[in-house]
Amino acid sequence: MSFLVDSLLMVFSLVLFFGGGWVFFLKQLYRDYEVHHSIVLLVFSTTFALSCIMFELIIFEILGVMESSSRFFHWKLGLYAILFVLIAVLPYYIAYYLIQNIRIVPQKRHIRVFIAAGAWCLTLYLFWRVGDPFPILSPKHGIFSIEQCIGRVGVIGVTLMAILSGFGAVNCPYTYMSYFIRHVTEADIQSIEKRLLQTLDRIIAKKKKIALSERDRLRQASLSTPSKGIWGLLKSAATSVSATTPSLGPLKQETGALEELSRQLFLETADLHDAMDRIEYSKTFKGRYFNVMGHFFSLYCVYKIFMATINIIFDRVGKVDPVTKGIEIAVKYFGFELDIKFWSQQISFLLVGVIIVTSIRGFLITLTRFFYAIASSKSSNVIVLCLAQIMGMYFVSCVLLMRMNMPQEYRLIITEVLGDLQFNFYHRWFDVIFLVSALSSIGFLYIAHNQSAEKTLHR
d(CA 60, CA 71): 8
CA distances to 68, 151, 303, 320 from 426, in Å: 27, 9, 20, 16
Average of pLDDT values for 368-384? 67
pTM over the 0.95 mark:
no
Residue 312, number of CB atoms within 10 A of its CB: 14
Q: Let me know the angle formed at the C-alpha of 223 by 220 and 226, rounded to the nearest 5 degrees.
A: 105
Cα dihedral 71→43→165→58 (10° resolution): -10
Q: According to the model, what pLDDT value does residue 192 have?
A: 85
Closest by Cα among 438, 411, 373, 393 to 155: 393
Average of pLDDT values for 229-249? 52
Q: According to the model, what pLDDT value does residue 423 have?
A: 76
Q: Residue 306: what are its φ and ψ, rounded to 5°?
A: -65, -45
Q: According to the model, what pLDDT value does residue 15 have?
A: 92
Higher pLDDT residue, 86 or 172?
Answer: 86
Backbone angle region of 88, left / alpha / beta, with phi > 0 → left and psi within -120 to 50 → alpha: alpha
Q: According to the model, what pLDDT value does residue 245 have?
A: 45
- Within 13 Å of residue 321, how many CA atoms lie on the same side as its CB? 23
Type of residue numbered 108: K
Q: Is 160 exposed, middle or buried (0-12, 13-18, 19+ CB in 10 A)?
A: middle
Q: According to the model, what pLDDT value does residue 347 have?
A: 60
d(CA 415, CA 64): 17
SS3 of residue 165 by DSSP:
helix
Q: Where are the alpha helices (DSSP H) in 283-339?
A: 285-314, 322-333
Q: Residue 135: what are its φ and ψ, rounded to 5°?
A: -85, 70
CA distances to 31, 121, 229, 236, 248 from 225, in Å: 61, 71, 12, 9, 24
Share of the chain above pLDDT 70, in %: 70
pLDDT digits (tens, 9 = 90+) for 135-191: 666 555 555 667 778 888 888 888 888 887 788 778 777 777 777 777 777 888 888
